[in-house]
C-alpha cells in the first residue's frame, strides 16, 4: 500500500483549479486565500513570491521552480517585491484550453507560470499535511528532483503548444504534480531526522505498520499485531510510532478508519452499514456515533452535504 498516495486521496474533495499567468514587468498579482493548497510552476522567466500577511522573506523563483503553499494562504507573485500588487480585472482573463489564462503587466521582461490550487479537506487534514512547511520551494537547478523536473517539462510543452490530447494530458499532469512535490520534499529531508512523517515513511518498521492499516483498515488490529507486522516488540513499536507519527498507533487507526469512511460517503453510493463494515465497525450505531463525534454530523447528513457542495 502506497501510504502517501492514499493519504492524499483521502483529503481530495475535487479536481484542481489552474490558470496560466503571463506577466510582463512591471507586474504583481495579489492572490487571495483559497480552500486547499496552492501551487505555482514557473514555466518561463523569473519572478518572486511572498506572503501578503506575515513576515516571511520573498523567495526568488526561476524557470522550472515549483512552489507549494500548504494552507492556500494569501500571497503575491511579482516581477519584483517592490512592485505594487493588484487583482486582475475580468477582461485580463481569456479562455485558452487546456487551462485558462491571465495576462498582466507592462512591456518589460516576461514570465509565465502555471498557478492553481488543490481542493483538500482543510478542516480535517491528514497529519502528513499538517507537518509540512507553510511554503515548500523546490528549485529546478542542481538536478535534485529529476522526476518533478520531467513533469514540469511535460507541462511546459503541452501548455506552450497544445496538441491533440492536451485537454486530457494537462489535467492528469497537474493532478500528479502534487505527489511529485510531496515525494521530492519527503526524500530531501535529512536521513538523520528521527521524527515526523518523512522519517516515518522511510522507517521500515513504522512504514510497514502504516501500510498494514491503510491496506486493511477494517482488520482487528491491536498494538501487538501491528508490532508483529513491524518486527519490533510491542513497547518498542508503540514508542517509535508515537514519536514519529505524533500519536499512538490505535489513535491513528481510528482516524484513518473514519477518514476512509468519509471518502466512501463522498465518492460511493454504498449503504451506511456497508461503509461502517469497511471502516472496521461492527455495528452501524457504533460507527454513526464515532463518525458524528469526529465530523460533527451523522454519516447520511455528511454524505448529503458533501454531494451538495460538490
Residue whose C-alpha cell reads 485558452 in the numeric block: 96
- Give the Cα separation of 309 and 306 in Å (integer): 5
Confidence of residue 55 (pLDDT cuts 50, 70, 90): low
Q: Where are the alpha helices (DSSP H) in the chain?
A: 3-11, 127-130, 146-160, 166-187, 197-202, 204-215, 223-230, 234-245, 249-267, 272-278, 284-295, 299-309
pLDDT of residue 185: 93
pLDDT of residue 11: 85
pLDDT of residue 194: 80
Confidence of residue 213 (pLDDT cuts 50, 70, 90): very high
Residues 6+ apart with CB under 8 A from 237: 205, 209, 223, 226, 227, 230, 249
pLDDT at 307 over 90: no
* More confident of the two residues 184 and 55: 184
pLDDT digits (tens, 9 = 90+) for 258-306: 999 999 999 999 999 999 999 999 999 999 999 999 999 999 999 999 8
* More confident of the two residues 206 and 89: 206
Percentage of residues of the chain with pLDDT beyond 70: 98
pLDDT of residue 199: 92
pLDDT of residue 53: 65
pLDDT of residue 61: 97
Residues 6+ apart with CB under 8 A from 33: 71, 72, 73, 74
pLDDT at 21 over 60: yes
- Give the Cα separation of 112 and 233 in Å (integer): 54
pLDDT at 123 over 80: no
Q: Are 158 and 169 in contact (CB under 8 A)?
A: yes
pLDDT of residue 207: 95
pLDDT of residue 277: 97
DSSP label at residue 63: T
Q: Which of 50, 8, 1 is nearest to 29 (CA)?
A: 50
Give exposure, 139-156, as e/b (b: 16+ Cβ within 10 Å).
bbeeeebeebbebbeebb
- What is the pLDDT averaged over residues 208-236? 96
- CA 119 to chain CA centroid, Å, is 8
Confidence of residue 153 (pLDDT cuts 50, 70, 90): very high
Confidence of residue 51 (pLDDT cuts 50, 70, 90): confident
pLDDT of residue 135: 93
pLDDT of residue 182: 94
* More confident of the two residues 125 and 105: 105
Q: What are the structural domains, with CATH classification, of the chain? A: 3-187 (2.60.120.10), 197-309 (1.10.10.60)
Amino acid at each position: 500500500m502506497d501510504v502517501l498516495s492514499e493519504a492524499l486521496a483521502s483529503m481530495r474533495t475535487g479536481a484542481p483549479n489552474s490558470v496560466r499567468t503571463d506577466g510582463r514587468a512591471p507586474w504583481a498579482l495579489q492572490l487571495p486565500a483559497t480552500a486547499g493548497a496552492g501551487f505555482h510552476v514557473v514555466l518561463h522567466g523569473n519572478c518572486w513570491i511572498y506572503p501578503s500577511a506575515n513576515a516571511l522573506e520573498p523567495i526568488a523563483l526561476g524557470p522550472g521552480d515549483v512552489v507549494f503553499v500548504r494552507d492556500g494562504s494569501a500571497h503575491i507573485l511579482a516581477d519584483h517585491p517592490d512592485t505594487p500588487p493588484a487583482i486582475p480585472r475580468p477582461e485580463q482573463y481569456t479562455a485558452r484550453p487546456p487551462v485558462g489564462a491571465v495576462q498582466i503587466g507592462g512591456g518589460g521582461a516576461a514570465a509565465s507560470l502555471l498557478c492553481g490550487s488543490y481542493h483538500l479537506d482543510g478542516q480535517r487534514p491528514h497529519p502528513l499535511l499538517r507537518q509540512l512547511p507553510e511554503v515548500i520551494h523546490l528549485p529546478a537547478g542542481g538536478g535534485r528532483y529529476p522526476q518533478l523536473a520531467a513533469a514540469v517539462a511535460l507541462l511546459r510543452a503541452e501548455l506552450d503548444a497544445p496538441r491533440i490530447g492536451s485537454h486530457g494530458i494537462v489535467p492528469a499532469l497537474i493532478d500528479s504534480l502534487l505527489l511529485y512535490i510531496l515525494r521530492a520534499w519527503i526524500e530531501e529531508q535529512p536521513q538523520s531526522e528521527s521524527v515526523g512523517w518523512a522519517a516515518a515513511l522511510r522507517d521500515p518498521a513504522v512504514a510497514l505498520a502504516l501500510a498494514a492499516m491503510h491496506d486493511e483498515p477494517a482488520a482487528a488490529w491491536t498494538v501487538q499485531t501491528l508490532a508483529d507486522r513491524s518486527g519490533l516488540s510491542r513497547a518498542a513499536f508503540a514508542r517509535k510510532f508515537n514519536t514519529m507519527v505524533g500519536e499512538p498507533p490505535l489513535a491513528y487507526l481510528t482516524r484513518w478508519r473514519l477518514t476512509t469512511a468519509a471518502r466512501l460517503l463522498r465518492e460511493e453510493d454504498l449503504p451506511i452499514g456497508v461503509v461502517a463494515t469497511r471502516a472496521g465497525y461492527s455495528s452501524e450505531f457504533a460507527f454513526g456515533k464515532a463518525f458524528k463525534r469526529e465530523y460533527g454530523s451523522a454519516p447520511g447528513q455528511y454524505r448529503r452535504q458533501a454531494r451538495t457542495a460538490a
